[in-house]
Amino acid sequence: DADVTQTPRNRITKTGKRIMLECSQTKGHDRMYWYRQDPGLGLRLIYYSFDVKDINKGEISDGYSVSRQAQAKFSLSLESAIPNQTALYFCATSDPPHEQFFGPGTRLTVL
């Protein structure tokens, strides 16, 4: 079984809809991250969490929110999706120092 799973793997939605992307991990790591990937831009950090009560904004958090329901679960929400949020989204976990373990990604298309 995969250590970091993401659901859904693909999602097509319309502008203005609320979307939730879910991430679960069995690695037992406290630290979890959400990134988005755009062609030519690499990965950019949206939010990160060190534990259930510690959530922090990354470099591109506008338009996104997160929830850390448990050590193993970290969800990303788009309250009102817009087309420029079309991207590939990755969840990751880490155990210091710094090595991150990635999920398979969610491809989101906003029409």
Give the footprint of other proteins on this chain (CB under 8 A): 4, 31, 33, 40-45, 48, 50, 56, 90, 92, 94, 96-105
Q: Which CB, 11 or 17, lies closer to other proteins?
A: 11
Spatial distance between the Cα atoms of 32 and 34, rounded to a whole number of angstroms: 7
One-letter-per-residue 3-state SS of 42-80: EEEEEEEEEECCEEEECCCCCCCEEEEEECCEEEEEECC
Q: Which CB, 20 or 45, lies closer to other proteins?
A: 45
Q: Which CB, 3 or 17, lies closer to other proteins?
A: 3
